[in-house]
């Protein structure tokens, strides 16, 4: 059974700092991996999607990498801003069913 | 600005009552998902539809939960009878398999359910 873990569970950084969020998974037979952001009391917003054949994806200040062999993905946020404060979730697509298996989440607080 | 809508946004009910949650997927999307989020379990997939047909509801307690898509614009999730342990935020998401960004799922704002 696929298990997805995110470390750290919570992170507080000063504004402007670069940071890395980690996502680990136990079964490397994944279809793709997606990073989401969730604001308090809100739904999830998709940030980046990495296909299993790709190594990384970039969108603005965000860069996500994928290393299937080691069962890891990282989300890099450059020059963090208070508006980046949210919970970040990684999720794996296990195959053609399009089912998502979510990680435990990292709660990020960027201090002004 | 196409988005997934869910109603109600909040629901407080007493144990034993029926609860119906509704979702309107993005027009043209052919997949619909129901998720439940709790502090203890995180986000869990309850049911999954493609072209209105249920493909996977293995994550859903069958004795009290039911999910349907009466038509392409409406998905429902019912709990009968409801129990306090059902208290959670229920999210609906939709996507388009076969099109651009086909694996991206778009989430609604959720229904926050409290069963007393």
pLDDT digit string, tens, across residues A38-93: 998 888 999 999 988 889 999 999 999 999 999 999 999 999 999 999 999 999 98
A43 and B105 in contact by Cβ < 8 A?
no
Confidence class of residue A37 from pLDDT cuts 50, 70 and 90?
Answer: very high
pLDDT of residue A2 exceeding 90: no
**CB contact at 8 A, B81 and B72:** no
Whether the CB of B48 is below 8 Å from some CB of chain A: the reply is yes
Compute the count of residue pairs across chains A and B with CB atoms less than 8 Å apart.
Answer: 51
Residue in chain B nearest A33 by alpha carbon: B103
Whether the CB of A37 is below 8 Å from some CB of chain B: the reply is no
Q: What is the mean pLDDT of residues B12-34?
A: 96
A97 and B56 in contact by Cβ < 8 A?
yes
Question: Pick from A32, A43, A105: which is nearest to B109 by CB?
Answer: A43
Report pLDDT for B96: 83
Q: How many CB atoms lie within 10 A of CB B103?
A: 18
Report pLDDT for B99: 55
Report pLDDT for B1: 67
Whether the CB of A107 is below 8 Å from some CB of chain B: the reply is no
Residue in chain B nearest A47 by alpha carbon: B104
Dist CA A87 CA A39 (whole Å): 6
Buried b (16+ CB within 10 A) or exposed e, B2-25: eebebeeeebebeeeeebebbbbb
Question: Pick from A46, A91, A98: which is nearest to B31 by CB?
Answer: A98
Measure A65 CA to nearest chain B CA, in Å.
17
Is it true that the peptide bond before B74 is cis, omega within 30 degrees of 0?
no
Dist CA A72 CA A91 (whole Å): 12
Dist CA A32 CA A65 (whole Å): 11
Query: Which tens digit of pLDDT belongs to each residue from B60-115?
Result: 888 999 999 999 999 999 999 999 999 999 999 998 876 555 567 889 999 999 99
Dist CA A29 CA A92 (whole Å): 10
Dist CA A93 CA B67 (whole Å): 22
Whether the CB of B1 is below 8 Å from some CB of chain A: the reply is no
- As beta bridge partners, residue A25 has A4
B107 and A93 in contact by Cβ < 8 A?
no
């Amino acid at each position: 059974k696929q298990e997805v873990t995110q470390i750290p569970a919570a992170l507080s950084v000063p504004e402007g700092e670069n940071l890395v969020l980690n996502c680990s998974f136990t079964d490397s037979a994944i279809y793709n991996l997606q990073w989401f952001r969730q604001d308090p009391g809100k739904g999830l917003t998709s940030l980046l999607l990495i296909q299993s054949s790709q190594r990384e994806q970039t969108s603005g200040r965000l860069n996500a990498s994928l290393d299937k062999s080691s069962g890891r993905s990282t989300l890099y946020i450059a020059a963090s801003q208070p508006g980046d404060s949210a919970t970040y979730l990684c999720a794996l697509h296990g195959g053609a069913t399009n089912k998502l298996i979510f990680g435990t989440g990292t709660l990020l607080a960027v201090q002004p | 600005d196409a988005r997934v809508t869910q109603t109600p946004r909040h629901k407080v009910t007493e144990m034993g009552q029926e609860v119906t949650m509704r979702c309107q997927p993005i027009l043209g999307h052919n997949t619909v998902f129901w998720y439940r989020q709790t502090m203890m379990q995180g986000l869990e997939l309850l049911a999954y539809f493609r072209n209105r047909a249920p493909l996977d509801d293995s994550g859903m307690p069958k004795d009290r939960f039911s999910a349907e898509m009466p038509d392409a614009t409406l998905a429902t999730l019912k709990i009968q009878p409801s129990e306090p342990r059902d208290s959670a935020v229920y999210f609906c998401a939709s996507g388009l398999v076969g099109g651009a960004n086909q694996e991206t799922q778009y989430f609604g704002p959720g229904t926050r359910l409290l069963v007393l």
